[in-house]
């Protein structure tokens, strides 16, 4: 049973010859105490997400930005070491116990560095015009780069999206991105086409007090830049709508499934994890049927909160199924290395554990560790 006073286990960080830090992954159910190297003060939701106020740019200052050379501070290095090594492997009985320990999960969540990106790290003039929230930016190391429409215009390569590793560190299992804006819809479809993504998961309404996402798909047929999108079927489910799409570019076509989950309530987590879990299972079935194709694209509004919950739950369920244990702490840390702020609040962190616990209850008892 997991004890409330236990801290996450921090494993060794291995540095390869190129200077890249990678965590030493150890499959163990041990929950021994290890002091945390990093403590954060609680951050408010608006600080995590960024203001909803529209971004205003001083156009006269653009083009006068001096080159920026990123230098890691000692605090940033400690934070990255934590993200790459923190771990608390839970057996199935321990998972059931920890779900009942709300204070433990909240405390554990507050230890995880957010890893937000400094705008100066993105050396692309005017990239702010393509960001829905001014403080939610893509990690430069895992950023999705669009093939340039114009080689002299670096902005044409920019989209606020990151490749996200999946279960067992699988590269480019997902793409986490913001909800498309009126001026980024074409970029979004270019990305879906470029990456050969078989599934799009949308976890937001178009408007929740303020605009969260624009309507970026057509009723029947639409052309977005060089990509034509056709809706060939719509299936209304209890908590989400599935659209079957055909994308065309020249003589080539791609089939894409679009899931629009609309049951997530404003400003809180759902009362039940069942609808999101069912969505995850349906998407996983489509992913397996599309072996060899590109990443699953997931977005909400900012592309970190609900998006992080969905991806963390998906990875955790795969780990439970394959190993009979789950390490949600390590999963969320891995997500934040790839995209800062993933799983935005302690309530969302608890919700992920509830979803994993619900999935665990459906597994065969023979696999209990």
* Calpha distance 246→147 (Å, rounded): 21
* CA neighbor of 342 nearest in space, from 331, 326, 354, 358: 331
Of the residues 213, 237, 300, 357, only one is catalytic, namely 300
More confident call, 49 vs 25:
49
Torsions phi, psi of 22, nearest 5?
A: -135, 145
Q: What is the pLDDT of residue 15?
A: 40
Q: For 17, how many CA atoms within 13 A lie in the half-sphere containing its CB?
A: 0
Q: What is the mean pLDDT of residues 14-30?
A: 42
Residue 43, pLDDT above cutoff 90: no
Q: Which residues pair with 220 in a beta bridge?
A: none
More confident call, 183 vs 5:
183
Q: What is the mean pLDDT of residues 175-202?
A: 99
* Calpha distance 29→351 (Å, rounded): 22
> Encoding tokens for residue 68?
């920026």
* CA neighbor of 259 nearest in space, from 347, 185, 197, 212: 197
Q: What is the pLDDT of residue 149?
A: 80
Q: What is the pLDDT of residue 150?
A: 81
Q: What is the mean pLDDT of residues 256-268?
A: 93
Predicted confidence band of residue 77 (pLDDT cuts 50, 70, 90) = confident
* Calpha distance 168→16 (Å, rounded): 19
CA 7 → CA 26, 34, 42, 109, distances in Å? Answer: 17, 6, 17, 11
Predicted confidence band of residue 57 (pLDDT cuts 50, 70, 90) = very low
Percent of the chain having pLDDT more than 90? 75
More confident call, 37 vs 89:
89
* Calpha distance 52→159 (Å, rounded): 19
Q: What is the pLDDT of residue 365?
A: 84
Residue 207, pLDDT above cutoff 60: yes
333 is catalytic: no
Percent of the chain having pLDDT more than 70? 79
Report yes or no: 220 and 232 within 8 Å, Cβ to Cβ: no
Residue 21, pLDDT above cutoff 50: no
Predicted confidence band of residue 72 (pLDDT cuts 50, 70, 90) = low
Helix or strand run (H / E) with residue 310: helix 306-323
Q: Count of CB atoms within 10 A of residue 65's CB?
A: 13
Mean pLDDT of the chain: 85
- Binding annotation for substrate: 266, 300-306, 344
Q: What is the mean pLDDT of residues 267-294?
A: 95
Q: Which domains does the chain have, with CATH numbers?
A: 117-367 (3.90.190.10)
Residues in the chain: 369
Q: What does the pLDDT look like over 317-369, one tens digit per residue?
A: 999 999 999 999 999 999 999 999 999 999 999 999 999 999 999 998 865 44
Q: What is the pLDDT of residue 8?
A: 52
Q: What is the pLDDT of residue 148?
A: 87
Strands (E), 264-318: 296-299
* CA neighbor of 25 nearest in space, from 80, 89, 76: 89
Q: What is the mean pLDDT of residues 211-233?
A: 98
* Calpha distance 349→312 (Å, rounded): 9
Q: What is the pLDDT of residue 27?
A: 43
Q: What is the DSSP letter of 50?
A: -
Q: What does the pLDDT look like over 129-188, one tens digit per residue?
A: 999 999 999 999 999 999 988 888 999 999 999 999 999 999 999 999 999 999 999 999
Q: What does the pLDDT look like over 84-133, one tens digit per residue?
A: 999 999 999 999 999 999 999 999 999 999 999 999 999 999 999 999 99
Q: What is the mean pLDDT of residues 13-33?
A: 41
Residue 30, pLDDT above cutoff 80: no
- Binding annotation: 266, 300-306, 344
Predicted confidence band of residue 71 (pLDDT cuts 50, 70, 90) = low
Residue 22, pLDDT above cutoff 80: no
């Amino acid at each position: 049973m997991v004890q409330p006073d236990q801290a996450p286990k921090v494993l060794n960080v291995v540095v390869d010859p190129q200077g890249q830090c990678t965590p030493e992954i150890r499959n163990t159910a041990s929950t021994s105490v290890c002091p945390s190297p990093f403590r954060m003060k609680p951050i408010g939701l608006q600080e995590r997400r960024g203001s909803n106020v529209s971004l205003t740019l001083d156009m006269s200052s653009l083009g006068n930005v001096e080159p920026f050379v990123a230098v890691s501070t000692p605090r940033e290095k400690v934070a990255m070491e934590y993200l790459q090594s923190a771990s608390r492997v839970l057996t199935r009985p321990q998972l059931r116990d920890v779900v009942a320990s709300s204070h433990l999960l909240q405390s554990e969540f507050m230890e995880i560095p957010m890893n937000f990106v400094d705008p100066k790290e993105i050396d692309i003039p005017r990239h702010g015009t393509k960001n829905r929230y001014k403080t939610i930016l893509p990690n430069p190391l895992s950023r999705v780069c669009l093939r340039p429409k114009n080689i002299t215009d670096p902005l044409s390569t920019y989209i606020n999206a990151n490749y996200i590793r999946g279960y067992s560190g699988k590269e480019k299992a997902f793409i986490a991105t913001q909800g498309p804006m009126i001026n980024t819809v074409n970029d979004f479809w270019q990305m879906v086409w470029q990456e050969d993504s078989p599934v799009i998961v949308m976890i937001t309404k178009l408007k929740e007090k303020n605009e969260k996402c624009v309507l970026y798909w057509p009723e029947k047929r639409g052309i977005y830049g060089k990509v034509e999108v056709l809706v060939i079927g719509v299936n209304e489910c209890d908590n989400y709508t599935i659209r079957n799409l055909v994308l065309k570019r020249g003589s080539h076509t791609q089939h894409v499934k679009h899931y629009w989950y609309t049951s997530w309530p404003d400003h809180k987590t759902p009362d039940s994890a069942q609808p999101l879990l069912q969505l995850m299972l349906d998407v996983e079935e489509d992913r397996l049927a599309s072996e060899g194709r590109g990443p699953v694209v997931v977005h909400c509004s900012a592309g970190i909160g609900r998006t992080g919950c969905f991806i963390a739950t998906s990875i955790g369920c795969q780990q439970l199924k394959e190993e009979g244990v789950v390490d949600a702490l390590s999963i969320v840390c891995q997500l934040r290395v790839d995209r800062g702020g993933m799983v935005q609040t302690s309530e969302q962190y608890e919700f992920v554990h509830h979803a994993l616990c619900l999935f665990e209850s459906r597994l065969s008892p023979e696999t209990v560790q």
